[in-house]
Amino acid sequence: MSKLNNLLFISILTISLTACDYISGLTNGTNETQEANRIITELTFAVAPKIAWMPWYLANEENLFNQYSNNIKIKFKSDNYQRIIDSFLNGDVHAITISNIDAIAQIVRRDIEVDVILISNGHNGSEAILLPQNVDASINNLRGKSFGFTKFSTRHYLFDRYLIRNQIDFDEINTSNIDEIDIPDAFKNNKELVGVVTENPNLYQLTHTTDAKIIFDSQQIANEIFDLVLMRRETLEDHPDFAQALLSSWFAITQKLQGNKKSQTLNGLSTLINLTPQQYAAQLTTTPLNDSPAKALAKIRSRNIRKTMRHIQYFIQRHDLANDENFTDWISYPGRNPAILHFNGKPLQKFIAPSIKK
């Protein structure tokens, strides 16, 4: 009898274990099928190595983009500034960092619908007009002289604002189109130029290693030049998590610059751009970061943007960088129907106060 009971117990146990294995196999099979059926979309975010944009590079080093994304694989692309703009125009990348000047002069005028999801930083002395120390900086002396800078850039915009501020006619000054990378050599060796207009890190280098002096900089037109994260509207509508992942990565790094990890973070940022921490920190002060969600949301909602756009409109029209369409129809602001370029506060609002799932 005891032997019969033992056989019965073993039989029941065997059946139970077999059933568990079967159920487990079904569950694992379902999970594997779900994983296989999960579509991963690859989206590309392109950034150029500029002082204020190095937090994006550190975020990439720390693999933050994909830590914060879901069903999206974010590819980070680093390249020359103009090439990342060209890649965006060609449809090869889905989001880029760009100045407000270039966003309008190069992107919007081609009727590409885009959203600004972040104003990452301002320009507060990061561009300047330079002269040699021994050159008379009086307006009368500069008339008829030549300046070198990259045409239709933030430096060109700064130069135009300088002329307007000092009531100098545009045809009283000669200009030469020079790539930013060639500016230091032009300042030192081009005898046809009286001065140049440049940005960091060239600005820092020239003012610390030559006899260059600043006669006008972007600090004197505060809030007029700023940098954006621009995303194709179709991409944002189809993949709102893309914007959330970028915002999460940005604030994860910038908030380290405010706390007890500031020194370590500065070391990491400066290494990525081949500067000392002191050099990097000095230049970063000229591009104040919107380093918290609340600050960034306030900036994208600011009415100062509308005032700035009037100055940019004049710059665009004066240099024939636009077609005949009405400039005011190009730009829209939070709470309005989206125009070609829309300052969209919703991704930041969602970041600050996520919607509650019912």
For 147-205, what is each residue's pLDDT tens digit? 999 999 999 999 999 999 999 999 999 999 999 999 999 999 999 999 999 999 999 99
| Helix, strand and coil percent figures for the chain, each rounded to 5 | 55, 20, 30
List pLDDT tens digits, range 199-238.
999 999 999 999 999 999 999 999 999 999 999 999 999 9
The more confidently predicted of residues 354 and 181 is 181
Of 70, 71, 68, 93, nearest in space to 83 by CA: 93
Tokens of residue 100, six digits? 């407000």
Give 144's pLDDT tier (boundaries 50, 70, 90): very high
pLDDT score at 354: 64
pLDDT score at 355: 55
pTM of the model: 0.87
Of 206, 223, 196, nearest in space to 129 by CA: 196
pLDDT score at 325: 61
Q: Residue 201, preceding bond cis, omega within 30 degrees?
A: yes
Give 1's pLDDT tier (boundaries 50, 70, 90): very low
pLDDT score at 351: 87
List pLDDT tens digits, range 35-50.
445 578 999 999 999 9
Q: Is residue 34 predicted with pLDDT exceeding 60?
A: no
Q: What are the extents of the domains in the chain? A: 41-124+224-352, 146-221
List pLDDT tens digits, range 35-93.
445 578 999 999 999 999 999 999 999 999 999 988 899 999 999 999 999 999 999 99
Report d(CA 225, CA 237) in Å as an integer.
27
The more confidently predicted of residues 253 and 358 is 253
List pLDDT tens digits, range 309-341.
999 999 998 998 876 666 668 899 999 999 999
Report d(CA 302, CA 296) in Å as an integer.
10
- 153: Cβ–Cβ under 8 A, 6 or more apart, which residues? 99, 101, 102, 180
Q: What is the DSSP letter of 193?
A: -
Report d(CA 92, CA 106) in Å as an integer.
16
pLDDT score at 287: 97
Q: Which CATH number fits domain 41-124+224-352: 3.30.70.1020, 3.40.190.10, 3.50.50.60, 3.30.420.10?
A: 3.40.190.10
